[in-house]
């Protein structure tokens, strides 16, 4: 399963009670610093490990690798979620820690509030802890997970 597939499945599951994985859309070139308050990262091959909080021992971490720029992926993912009915607060920045909240109200699905705390270690590593709380079809839901991301090198050359 690619990071894109995981991200898309998380969109659906966040709106129905799980957390959206913040990490991956199409690969694009490195960009200049954006003025939206979100951090920037190097383009390349990245390793992502997703770990749920308070999950049974038999539930394993999800690990994937993908070639992308996580900063661009975060922005594209937020734009996709905004189209679905989510509103984002501007990130609060304290040093290398970026805290932001998404409030989603999707008709016939439910309401969720997710708070993400992204810690940028460098332009090649970060972690993001996400806590979500809300309701789906009138039933309360609550979840938490952490994503660990590290650039592992340049993107491998594609075979033709």
Residue 159 confidence (pLDDT) = 65
Into how many domains does the chain fold? 1
Q: Are strands 86-88 and 62-68 parallel, antiparallel or unpaired?
A: unpaired
For 60, half-sphere exposure in the C-beta direction (CA atoms, 13 angstrom radius) is 3
SS3 71: helix
Does residue 135 lie within any of the structural domains?
A: yes
In a domain, 12, yes or no: yes
Which pair of tokens denotes residue 114? 């997710």
**In this predicted structure, which of 3-7, 97-101, 104-108, 129-133 has the lowest mean pLDDT?**
3-7
Return phi, psi of residue 13, to 5°: -75, -30
Residue 160 within a domain: no
Q: Is residue 158 one of the residues assigned to a domain?
A: no
SS (H, E, C) 36-68: CCCCCCCCEEEEEEEEECCCCCCCCCEEEEEEE
Q: What is the mean pLDDT of residues 22-34?
A: 32
Q: What is the pLDDT of residues 121-157, one digit of tens each?
A: 999 999 999 999 999 888 999 999 999 999 999 998 8
Q: Is residue 159 part of a domain?
A: no
The pLDDT score that the predictor gives to residue 11 is: 37
Q: Residue 136: give the domain boundaries.
A: 3-153
What does pTM read for this prediction?
A: 0.75
């Amino acid at each position: 399963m690619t990071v894109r597939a995981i991200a898309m499945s998380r969109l659906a599951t966040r709106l129905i009670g799980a957390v959206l994985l913040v990490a991956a859309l199409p690969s694009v070139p490195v960009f200049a610093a954006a003025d939206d308050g979100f951090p920037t990262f190097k383009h390349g091959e990245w390793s992502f490990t997703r770990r749920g909080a308070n999950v049974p021992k038999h539930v394993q971490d999800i690990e994937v690798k993908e070639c992308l720029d996580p900063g661009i992926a975060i922005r594209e993912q937020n734009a996709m979620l905004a189209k679905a009915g989510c509103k984002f607060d501007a990130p609060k920045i304290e040093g290398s820690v970026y805290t932001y909240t998404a409030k989603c109200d999707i008709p016939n699905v439910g309401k969720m509030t997710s708070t993400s705390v992204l810690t940028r270690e460098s332009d090649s590593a970060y972690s993001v802890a996400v806590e979500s709380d809300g309701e789906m079809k009138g039933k309360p839901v609550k979840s938490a997970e952490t994503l660990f991301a590290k650039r592992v090198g340049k993107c491998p050359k594609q075979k033709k």
